[in-house]
Amino acid sequence: MTYKDIDINHGQKCGVNDVICYRKDNIAYLNITNQCTLHCSFCPKLNKNWVVHGHHLKLSRQASTSRILLALGDPRRYKEVVFSGLGEPTLNLSVLIEVAKAIHGRTRVRLITDGLGNLVQGMDITPLLAGKIDAISISLNAQQESVYNQLCQPPQTGTFPALLDFIQAAKKNNVGDVCLTAIDGLKDVDIADCQNIANNYGVDFRRRIIGECV
């Protein structure tokens, strides 16, 4: 399998019982796709566990713009709205952009991403996100390619360099505040080295704990 084999749908209507928005600490999290670019060894869904903070996040289909906006309600009620998962939001790109555009300016909008959107979509998506996203959290996950490949199990080579290119593109094209993240405690992950990578790119870094909302 390569990234070309990933079926990128564009927001069909999802099931009525699907949890596409959940709230925690005055933050709304949007679950707009279950599709993933990676097969992270630490991901709960690979163990068939779809429950995050008490919410079962398995979707019957990708979420549509209208259903997401309906589920979210007035974005001004939240201090932040976060595109999260359980899946990679940029795999539902047109819907992500439409929703971000609709709510931007009425709350802080943040995207959590694996940073592989440019590689998978075959184009630089960061200009499309600029002006609609206030902050972007990019899952760096590891300080070097061998550790990344072991943890995230990308389907093709060249993924880690593409992730590093995405960080630069996000910064250059002003996709809001850029923050890299890595999970502390995973085998062979060196948090200090991950922090150094962020420092070298001139972006923020956040050490994560597994299982937390980010």
Q: Which residues bind ligand SF4 (CB under 6 A)?
A: 36, 38-40, 43, 45, 85-88, 114
Q: Based on CB atoms, which residue is closest to ligand SF4, 75 or 154?
A: 154
To ligand SF4, the closest distance from the beta carbon of 183 in angstroms equals 9
Q: Based on CB atoms, which residue is closest to ligand SF4, 56 or 101?
A: 56
149 with 191: CB under 8 angstroms?
A: no
Q: Where are the beta strands (DSSP E) in the chain?
A: 21-24, 27-30, 51-52, 55-56, 80-83, 108-113, 135-139, 177-183, 204-208
Which of 64, 69, 75 is closest to 11 using CA atoms? Answer: 64
**Alpha-carbon dihedral 115, 27, 97, 131, rounded to 10 degrees:** -90
To ligand SF4, the closest distance from the beta carbon of 89 in angstroms equals 10
Q: Based on CB atoms, which residue is closest to ligand SF4, 102 or 164?
A: 164
Q: Based on CB atoms, which residue is closest to ligand SF4, 107 or 139?
A: 139
36 with 60: CB under 8 angstroms?
A: no
β-strands 21-24, 27-30 pairing:
antiparallel
The CA–CA distances, whole Å, from 135 to 9, 130, 180, 214 equal: 24, 10, 11, 12
Q: Based on CB atoms, which residue is closest to ligand SF4, 108 or 208?
A: 208
To ligand SF4, the closest distance from the beta carbon of 57 in angstroms equals 9
To ligand SF4, the closest distance from the beta carbon of 43 in angstroms equals 3
To ligand SF4, the closest distance from the beta carbon of 77 in angstroms equals 26
